[in-house]
Amino acid sequence: MVLWMLELSPLEIEALRLSLLVSSCAVACSLPFGILLAWLLARRDFPGKVLLDGLVHLPLVLPPVAVGYLLLAGMGRQGLIGGWLYRSFGVSFVFSWKGAALASAVMAFPLLVRAIRLSLENVDRGIEAAAATLGASPFDVFLRVTLPLSLPGVLAGVILAFARSLSEFGATITFAANIPGQTRTLPVALYGVTQTAGGDAEAMRLCLISIGLALATLVASDLLARRLDRRLKG
């Protein structure tokens, strides 16, 4: 069984490589924005906070295809933002792996923000106040006290976002399509082979690869979270 799984076909290798690339880029690029928004929602009160919170979590309740269409309308070469990027810098997201990463980042962003926000809300503000009275600037307090104490939540958010990106399909295929070597991630490849006559065996292999990758991600997340929690308590 293990040897069978190790002998991956070119399609499986391509889909696995692209999924890891897209998910890694999606999480890495969205993490700074996720931390910033989580901090704003956890620590600041301002007009429109409820609306901002709703917009952040909107991808959780919208159909993924709708999110993909909105990305196509806004970030496509004829879109308001996408058109400007293409004309000014020659940057195009649509129908490319960068578009797949953008779609995955948008769909996973609510999970990232929510996990980090909950962790920030549980940080003891007395410790932050003590650091401030010792002369630390607000930025130093955040960097040296708040962020380290919230690292378990940040890690949880990163892993959740990464796992969600690995499984993203609807927004990706709508915005980035199914292009071999460019946007054909594991979920897109799985959908493609299910539409092909006699593709049941390949579909099962891709499904098992997806399950194995997701399970490995969750196990690694649990182990890292426990280790980090022990270090913080120590």
pLDDT of residue 197: 83
pLDDT of residue 188: 93
Q: What is the DSSP letter of 76?
A: S
pLDDT values of the chain reduced to their tens digit, one per residue, 234 residues: 443 445 788 888 999 999 999 999 999 999 999 999 999 999 888 899 999 999 999 999 999 999 999 999 999 888 889 999 999 998 899 989 999 999 999 999 999 999 999 999 988 888 888 888 888 888 888 888 888 888 888 988 999 899 999 999 999 999 998 988 889 999 999 998 988 888 888 889 999 998 888 888 888 877 877 777 777 666
pLDDT of residue 232: 64
pLDDT of residue 6: 55
pLDDT of residue 14: 92
Residue the block writes with tokens 């927004």: 171
Query: Rounded to 10 degrees, what is the CA torsion of 59, 65, 66, 69?
Result: 120
3-state helix, strand, coil in the chain (%, to 5): 80, 0, 20
Query: Rounded to 10 degrees, what is the CA torsion of 30, 37, 111, 21?
Result: 0
pLDDT of residue 171: 94
Domains of the chain are 10-233 (1.10.3720.10)
From CA 162, how far away is CA 214, in angstroms rounded?
Answer: 9
pLDDT of residue 234: 60
